[in-house]
């Protein structure tokens, strides 16, 4: 692994987390049509749909760019770690956010 490989993988994981949160916002706003609490205040479904769409589109573009960089070998990262981050980060973020949702929303 090269000197910047850790930074690239960290950035990729942050992008995955953002895209996952965007997908969760779309799910709550468009499918469930109920508010989502990410901090102290619940976000309404209309806002969730708009922000979730932005997060998903920006996340998908960033994931594509990072995936091309990693898989081409330009970043010097280990592909096994890249695949592990892809499989572990999104479910971890989704579960963490889902556990924090009160049942009364």
The boundaries of the domain holding residue 54 are 5-99
Question: What is the percent of the chain where pLDDT is above 90?
Answer: 31
Q: What is the mean pLDDT of the chain?
A: 85
Closest-CA residue to 22 (of 61, 41, 49, 62): 49
Q: Strand, coil or helix: what is 90? A: helix
Question: pLDDT tens digit string along 13-51?
Answer: 889 999 999 999 999 999 999 998 877 788 899 999 999
Residue 24 lies in a domain: yes
Residue 104 lies in a domain: no
pLDDT band at 105 (very low <50, low <70, confident <90, very high): very low
Domain count for the chain: 1
- Asked whether the CA dihedral 22, 27, 33, 39 is positive or negative, the reply is negative
Residue 16 lies in a domain: yes
pTM as predicted: 0.78
């Amino acid at each position: 692994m090269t000197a910047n490989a850790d930074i690239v993988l960290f950035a990729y994981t942050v992008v995955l987390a953002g895209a996952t949160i965007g997908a969760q916002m779309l799910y709550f706003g468009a499918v469930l049509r109920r508010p989502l609490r990410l901090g102290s205040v619940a976000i309404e479904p209309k806002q969730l749909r708009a922000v979730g769409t932005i997060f998903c589109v920006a996340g998908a573009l960033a994931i594509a760019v990072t995936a091309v960089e990693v898989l081409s070998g330009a970043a010097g990262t280990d592909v096994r770690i890249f695949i592990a981050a892809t499989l572990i980060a999104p479910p971890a973020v989704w579960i963490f956010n889902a556990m924090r949702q009160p049942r009364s929303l």
